[in-house]
Amino acid sequence: MTADLTLDEMRAALAPLLPRHAAFDGWKDEAIAMAAAEKSIDPDIAALAFPGGAMDMIDAWFASIDTRMTDSLSAQTLAALSIRARITALVEARLALLAPDREALRRAIAIMAMPRNGVRAAKLGWRAADAMWRAAGDEATDFAHYSKRMTLGGVYAATLLVFLDDESDDHTESRAFLARRIEEVMRFERSKARFKGAGGGERLSLSRFIGRLRYPVV
pLDDT in tens, 61-106: 999 999 999 999 999 999 999 988 999 999 999 999 999 999 999 9
What is the predicted pLDDT for the residue at 200? 47
pLDDT of residue 14: 98
Report the chain's terminal Cα–Cα distance, integer Å: 56
- How far is residue 162's CA from residue 151's CA, in Å, rounded to a whole number? 17
Percent of the chain past pLDDT 70, that is, above it, reads 83
- If you average pLDDT over residues 187-208, what whole number do you get? 57
Question: Is the model more confident about 205 or about 52?
Answer: 52
User: Which of residues 201 and 123 earns the better pLDDT score?
Assistant: 123
Q: Does 115 score more than 90 pLDDT?
A: yes
Mean pLDDT of the chain: 88
pLDDT value at residue 194 = 72
5 versus 212: the higher-pLDDT residue is 5
The CA distances from residue 84 to 43, 120, 185, 202, 213, in Å, are 44, 28, 10, 16, 11
Print the SS3 string covering 35-103. Answer: HHHHCCCCHHHHHCCCCCCHHHHHHHHHHHHHHHHHHHCCHHHHHCCCHHHHHHHHHHHHHHHHHHHHH
Does 39 or 206 have the greater pLDDT score? Answer: 39
CB distance 32 to 14 below 8 Å: yes
Q: How far is CA 59 from the centre of its chain?
A: 11
User: Is pLDDT at 183 greater than 80 in this prediction?
Assistant: no
pTM exceeding the 0.75 threshold for the entire prediction: yes
Write the CA distances from 7 to 4, 27, 61, 65, integer angstroms: 10, 19, 15, 19
Q: Please tell me the distance from the alpha carbon of residue 81 to that of residue 45, in angstroms, as a whole number.
A: 45
Coil, strand or helix: which one is 123? Answer: helix
pLDDT in tens, 20-44: 999 998 999 999 999 999 999 999 9
